Each structure stands twice: as C-alpha cells, then as structure tokens.
Amino acid sequence: MDAPTRKVEAAGTTFAYRQLGLPARVPVVLLNHWGANLDNFDPRIVDGLAAGRTVIALDYRGVGASGGKAPLTVAEMTTDTVATLQALGLDRVDIVGFSLGGFVAQEVALRAPALVRRLILAGTGPAGGTGIERVGAVSWPLILKGLLTFKDPKTYLFFTASETSRRAAKAFLGRLKERTSDRDTAVGMGTFLRQLKAIKAWGRQAPQDLARVACPVLVANGDRDLMVPSPNSTDMARRLPNAEHVFYEDAGHGGIFQYHEAFTRKAVAFLDA
C-alpha cells in the first residue's frame, strides 16, 4: 500500500486519507481500530479489495495527520465520517469497519442509510454490547505484557496464544512495516485515551435498533475475541435483518488479519454480490 497521503477539509478541520485501486461506482471506505492510523490497515486486505474497486482509508479527527482532537463519542466520530465522505463527493459507499471502526460504521448506517450500500463489521459489537465497556480493563494488562516482552501489544490483543496464531501475529506485524515512505503520524497517548473514553461510552450506551439497518451486512470475527467478546458478533448478526456471519477458528480480535486471505475473498465476494 504505497498510495500517497491526501487531505480534505471537512467539519472544521483537515482529515487525512489514502485512496487507491480501480475506478468504481461505489468505493469501499475503511474505518480502523482504537489507536490506529493509516499505516495500521492490513496491506494484504487493502490491496485485495483495491484489485477490483476504489478503496479509501480514513484517519479519524485527531489521529495521524488529521487535525483536531479525537472525539469522546462514537456519535461525534460518525458526524466527522459523514462530513468527510460528503467533502470527497461521495453519495454511496460500502464500509468496512474494524473494532472501533465497526461502531462508527453502524452509526453511519443508522444515521445516513442512503449513503451505505453494503456493510462489513469485523471484530466489533453493538452499542451496549457485552464487555465492550471493559476494553480498557482487558487491554491494559496485555499492553503491559507487550512492553515487558518487547513485543508489539497487538501480538496479545489481536491473536490467541496458539503457535498458529502467534505466527500469524508476526506475519501481520511484518506487513504493517512494509510501507517505508510517507508514513502516517504516530498516535499519541492523549488520542489513545480519548478514544478509549468513546469506546467505554459506546459500551454503556443503550442498545440501538439494528433492525433499521436494511443494507446487506457481513459480520466477521475470531471465535476467541477478548477485546470485543465474540458473542457480540452473534448478537449483531441475529439483530440485523440482512446479515451473514463468519467466525474464524482459533482467532482473536484480529481474526480477519490471521485469516486475511480467506477474509479478503469473502469480503470481495460479498461486495460483488
């Protein structure tokens, strides 16, 4: 993924994004996880999607090269996302939302249903979902473990302890380092903590009426997600009127990265249907 970093003015600030792939009537927009910038999108998934369509990866407000302070609610992040898409001249998109990005994607689909054609929700859960407000409590010990073992915390946050999953973690983290020029600005602790507040608020929020999401939805997750517990995916798929659900075995929060080839095939087929 060597697409240049671009910027667009929206909602009173500047948002960083990257665009690549083939011209397409309906582009696919990527929304990423807690503490992630543009360099944290898995290059294999991005390139796989871009082989047949336009892909646009976005930074949230206060993240990476985007301006402003990170919002404290998913609702504010949604306002920014809709404004950014409008500033880019887009009136119809597919969205792939991973983790925190899945929260925002759901809110976009509820607030602006005419904007969203198809939706992929990966490693994520609904407002008020089981265990979501405890993301911080679950994550901090694993982040500390990463520091103490001199490993990227995503090794423990996104993958299981099995040999197969740990190999997948090493491969994934290697892919994130492939881009060597025009890297995005690192995410600071202030932004990290503000996003965590938004995640906690989402977990404490009243459940939303997901029956209002009429577009087709693909729900994907690992079967052992510790950060956004896997039962949330089952719950979303049950409550969404037009959803299909895939679980990846012996996989954690980053199941789509561990099974990136299978997920990309599934995602492309779903978006092409």
State pLDDT tens for residues 125-151. Answer: 999 999 999 999 999 999 999 999 999
CATH class name, domain 5-272: alpha beta
Task: Give CA–CA dist 29/53, Å, rounded.
Answer: 11
CB 35 within 8 A of CB 64: no
Q: What is the pLDDT of residue 1?
A: 61
Distances 89 to 10, 60, 82, 92, 111 between C-alpha atoms, Å: 11, 18, 11, 9, 18
Joined tokens for residue 209: 């009426």
Choice between 82 and 25, residue whose per-residue pLDDT is larger:
82
pTM of this structure: 0.98
pLDDT in tens, 65-99: 999 999 999 999 999 999 999 999 999 999 999 99
Q: Average pLDDT in the 43-48 region?
A: 98
